[in-house]
Chain A
Amino acid sequence: MMEKVYFRPAGIFDGTVTGFCPGCMHSSVCKIVCEALDELGQLDNACYVQGVGCCGLAVTYLNMDTVAAPHGRACAIASSFKRCSPETLVFTYQGDGDLAAIGLAETMSAANRGENFTVIFVNNGIYGMTGGQMAPTTLLGAKTTTTPYGRNEAEHGSPMHMCELINQLDAPAYIARVTCADVPNARKAKAAVRKAFQYQLEGRGFSFVEFVSNCPTNWGMSPLESLDHVHNVILKEFPLGEFRAK
C-alpha cells in the first residue's frame, strides 16, 4: 500500500494551470498559502482580497472566496470586510507596487489600527504586471524600464523595507520576512504563514508576511539565475526573519 504524501492543495482547482510565468515564485506563494489553509482547516472559511498586479493572475485557479480591490486599496477593503465578517479568515495578496507605493497609506494605516487580518506581501522588487518598472523595493543600481541608468539614491531614494517600517508601529502582532527560493526556506515560509493565520484566528491583530520573490521575466534572468540573484544579492538588502511575534 502506498501512501500519497504530496498532492495539490484543495485551494487550487484541479486541472488549471497558473497564469504566472515559468519559474515565478508567485505560484509557490499561492501553493504555500493554500497548504497552510488546508492544514488549519480554514480553506472553506477564507476570503482573500486581491491587489492589482501579477497576484491577480491567481484568480482563475484559487478556489476560495475573493474580493478584488483597486490598485493599492486591499488593506482598506480587508479592514472593513473583516470588521463586518469577523468569523471569516481574511488575507490580502499584494505586490510591492500595490502595497508599498500606491497603497502605502492604506497599508500603514491598517497596520497601525491593528486590523485583525493577514497581509501576504510578494516583494519582487519590480512592477511585474506592467512590464518591469521601478518599485519602491527596487535595489540601488538596478536597471528597470523606468530607471534605464540604474536606480540611484539621489534621484529615486533607497529601497523601502516594509517589515522594518511596520515594525515601528505599536499595533501589529506578527511581522515576518520569508522566501521560497529554496526548500528549507519554503518550509519556514509556510510556518510563518500558518502562524500569521493562527494569530488572526486568535484575534491578536495585524499580521504581515513578506515574501522575497522574483520576477524572472522582467529581471531578464532564467528562473535559476533569478534564484541565485535572490540568494546572492536581494537577501542582503532584505534580511529574512521574524521581526515581531507578540
Chain B
Amino acid sequence: MAEKIFMKGCEAVAETAVRAGCRFFAGYPITPQNDVPEYFARRMPQVNGVFIQGESEVASANMAYGAAAAGVRSMTSSSSCGISLKSEAISWMAGANLPVVIANFQRGGPGIGTIQPAQQDYNQATKASGNGGFRMLVLSPSTLQEAVDMTWRAFELADKYSKPVMLLMDGFTGTMMEPVVLPEPLGEEQVAAIRASKTWAARGRHGGPQHKVMCGPGLDTRISQAQMNERDAELYESWKQTEVEYEEYMTEDAEIVVTAYGITGRIAKSAVGMLRAEGVKAGLIRPLKVYPFPEQAFEKLDFARLRGIVCAEMSIPAQYAEDVRNVVRGRTGIVTALSSGGEVLDRAQILEAARSLMK
C-alpha cells in the first residue's frame, strides 16, 4: 500500500507535476495559489528543473510556452484575473500545438474579485480562454486525491494531443489539506525519453530539417487557416466520444438529479445522501471534465420519471447551469443553487432547491 500523506492542494498538485516529469514552471504571485510557485521554487532545483518567477502572468504563460517549444513538460498556474492575462499565451499554445498544463485556482470575479474560492470562470475555461475559438480539455477535481490523479493525467493528455490542458481548481481545493497517495515519480530516463519523443521541438537543426514552432498560418506556409481550424474542429469533435468523464451516483431510479462539478460536486454528493435518507430519490451527475461537457450523462436520464435537476455552482450568474439547460432542452425543470466568490455554497441551499422540485 502506498503511503498516504497529508498535503495542501496547491502543493499536492505541484508535487504531482514534478513526479509526472514537469521540469519547467513559471508563475506570478496571486492568492489563493501562491503555494504553487513557492513549492516549485523549492522543488525544481532538486530535479534539475527550471522555475522562473515571471514579471507578470503574461510573461509566465509565455515562458511556459517557450519551455514546451523546447520539448519540456511545462506548467503555469494562476487564479482568475491572472488567467485572463495568460489567455494570450494559452491561445498561442493551442495554435502552435504546444502541450502545457495550466491550473486555475478560481477566486471571485469579474475583475480582481475576492480572493476567496469561486467557480466564476466556468465559461472562460470551457469556451474562451483566449481568442480564436479553440477548446481545451478541462479537468476539475473535487478532492485532493482527484487533484493528484488529474494533474498526472493532465500532462499525459497535453502530450497525447499536443495541446494545452486546464486544471480547473478553486480556492478550496488549492488551500485545504487532505490525505493523498502520490504517484511514483517518473525516472530521469523516462523524463528524458518523453522530451526526446517530441521530435517537432526546436533544438537547433543539427544536420536535420528545420523545427518550426509556429502558431499556424499567417507566416507559416505549411498550413492554411482553414486547414488548421478544420483539423482542430475534428479533434474537439472526437473528444466528445473519447474524453467525456463524469461520475454518476444513484441516478438509476432518481427523481431528482443534483449536478455540480469541482468542490461543489462534493457538497452536492453529500446533499444527495441526505435527500436519500429523507426518502427522496436523489442522484448525482458530477463532471470530472467540464470540457468536453458530459452530454451523455444527461441524455441517459429517464425524463419521464425525473421531477427536475438542481444545478449547484459557486457562480452568480449561473454558468454551468446554462450548459445543462442546453442539453436538457426543456425535458425537465431546472433550478439552481448558487453562491458567489467567498461564500461557501451551503448544502442547505441544495436541499431546499431539491425539495422545491418535490412539491
Q: Spell out A's residues near B (CB within 8 Å).
A: 43-47, 49, 56-57, 59-60, 63-70, 73, 76-81, 83-85, 87-89, 105-106, 109, 113
Alpha-carbon gap, A47 to B210, bound state (A) = 10
Q: For A44, what are the chain B residues with a Cβ–Cβ distance below 8 Å?
A: 204-207
Alpha-carbon gap, A60 to B92, bound state (A) = 20
Q: For A68, what are the chain B residues with a Cβ–Cβ distance below 8 Å?
A: 92, 96, 212-215, 219-220
28 inter-chain pairs at a CB distance below 8 angstroms, sorted by A residue, are: A44-B205, A44-B206, A45-B204, A46-B204, A47-B202, A64-B204, A65-B204, A66-B214, A67-B66, A68-B92, A68-B212, A68-B213, A68-B214, A70-B92, A73-B59, A73-B62, A73-B88, A76-B63, A77-B65, A77-B66, A79-B52, A80-B26, A80-B52, A80-B63, A83-B24, A84-B70, A106-B55, A113-B52
Q: For A66, what are the chain B residues with a Cβ–Cβ distance below 8 Å?
A: 202, 210-214
Query: In chain B between 32 and 78, which residues have their CB closer than 8 angstroms to a CB of chain A?
Result: 50, 52, 54-56, 58-60, 62-67, 69-72, 74
Q: Which residue of B lies closest to A49 (CB)?
A: B66
A244 to B: closest C-beta gap in Å: 22
Which of A60, A67, A87, A109 has the most C-beta atoms of chain B within 10 angstroms of its own C-beta?
A67
Q: For B96, what are the chain A residues with a Cβ–Cβ distance below 8 Å?
A: 68
| Interface presence of B282 (CB below 8 A) | no
Query: In chain B between 1 and 40, which residues have their CB closer than 8 angstroms to a CB of chain A?
Result: 23-24, 26
Alpha-carbon gap, A66 to B201, bound state (A) = 10
Alpha-carbon gap, A65 to B71, bound state (A) = 13
| Interface presence of B89 (CB below 8 A) | yes
Known contacts A56-B219, A68-B219: does B205 contact A79 (CB below 8 Å)?
no
* Dominant secondary structure of chain A at its interface with chain B: helix
A42 to B: closest C-beta gap in Å: 8
Known contacts A59-B220, A105-B55, A106-B55: does B205 contact A80 (CB below 8 Å)?
no
Task: Decide if A81 touches B66 in the complex (CB within 8 Å).
Answer: yes
Q: For B24, what are the chain A residues with a Cβ–Cβ distance below 8 Å?
A: 80, 83-84
Task: Decide if B50 touches A83 in the complex (CB within 8 Å).
Answer: yes
Query: In chain B between 185 and 233, which residues have their CB closer than 8 angstroms to a CB of chain A?
Result: 202-207, 210-215, 218-221
Q: Which residue of B89, B202, B205, B218 is within 8 Å of A67 (Cβ)?
A: B202
Task: Decide if B62 touches A65 in the complex (CB within 8 Å).
Answer: no
Q: For B202, what are the chain A residues with a Cβ–Cβ distance below 8 Å?
A: 47, 65-67, 81, 85, 88
Task: Decide if A64 touches B219 in the complex (CB within 8 Å).
Answer: no
Q: For B74, what are the chain A residues with a Cβ–Cβ distance below 8 Å?
A: 80
Q: For A109, what are the chain B residues with a Cβ–Cβ distance below 8 Å?
A: 54-55, 59
Q: For A63, what are the chain B residues with a Cβ–Cβ distance below 8 Å?
A: 205, 210
A203 to B: closest C-beta gap in Å: 16
Task: Decide if B70 touches A85 in the complex (CB within 8 Å).
Answer: yes
Q: Which residue of A lies closest to B95 (CB)?
A: A68
Q: For B215, what are the chain A residues with a Cβ–Cβ distance below 8 Å?
A: 68, 70
Q: Which residue of A56, A88, A89, A106 is within 8 Å of B59 (Cβ)?
A: A106
Q: Which residue of B lies closest to A57 (CB)?
A: B219
Q: For B219, what are the chain A residues with a Cβ–Cβ distance below 8 Å?
A: 56-57, 59-60, 68
Q: A67-B214, A68-B96, A80-B65 are in contact. List 16 more A-B contacts (CB 8 A).
A: A44-B206, A47-B211, A64-B204, A65-B212, A66-B202, A67-B66, A67-B213, A68-B212, A70-B89, A76-B54, A80-B63, A80-B70, A83-B24, A84-B50, A88-B70, A106-B59
Q: For B54, what are the chain A residues with a Cβ–Cβ distance below 8 Å?
A: 76, 109
Alpha-carbon gap, A67 to B65, bound state (A) = 10
Alpha-carbon gap, A89 to B24, bound state (A) = 19
Task: Decide if B67 touches A88 in the complex (CB within 8 Å).
Answer: no
10 closest residue pairs by CB, A with B: A77-B66, A80-B66, A80-B63, A109-B55, A76-B62, A73-B62, A45-B204, A81-B66, A84-B70, A76-B59
Q: For B214, what are the chain A residues with a Cβ–Cβ distance below 8 Å?
A: 59, 66-68
Q: For A113, what are the chain B residues with a Cβ–Cβ distance below 8 Å?
A: 52
Q: For B64, what are the chain A residues with a Cβ–Cβ distance below 8 Å?
A: 80
Known contacts A47-B202, A70-B89: does B59 contact A105 (CB below 8 Å)?
yes
Known contacts A79-B66, A81-B70, A84-B23: does B211 contact A65 (CB below 8 Å)?
yes
Alpha-carbon gap, A68 to B202, bound state (A) = 11
Q: Which residue of B lies closest to A71 (CB)?
A: B88
Q: Which residue of A lies closest to B215 (CB)?
A: A68
Alpha-carbon gap, A32 to B250, bound state (A) = 70
B96-125 interface code vs A (CB 8 A; 1 in, 0 out) = 100000000000000000000000000000
Q: Which residue of A lies closest to B205 (CB)?
A: A44
Alpha-carbon gap, A59 to B216, bound state (A) = 13
Alpha-carbon gap, A243 to B179, bound state (A) = 57
Q: Which residue of B63, B207, B213 is within 8 Å of A79 (Cβ)?
A: B63
A38 to B: closest C-beta gap in Å: 13
Task: Decide if B70 touches A105 in the complex (CB within 8 Å).
Answer: no
Q: Which residue of B lies closest to A108 (CB)?
A: B55
Q: For A47, what are the chain B residues with a Cβ–Cβ distance below 8 Å?
A: 202-204, 211
Q: Which residue of B62, B63, B203 is within 8 Å of A85 (Cβ)?
A: B203
Task: Decide if A84 touches B67 in the complex (CB within 8 Å).
Answer: yes
Query: In chain B between 268 and 305, which residues have their CB closer than 8 angstroms to a CB of chain A?
Result: none
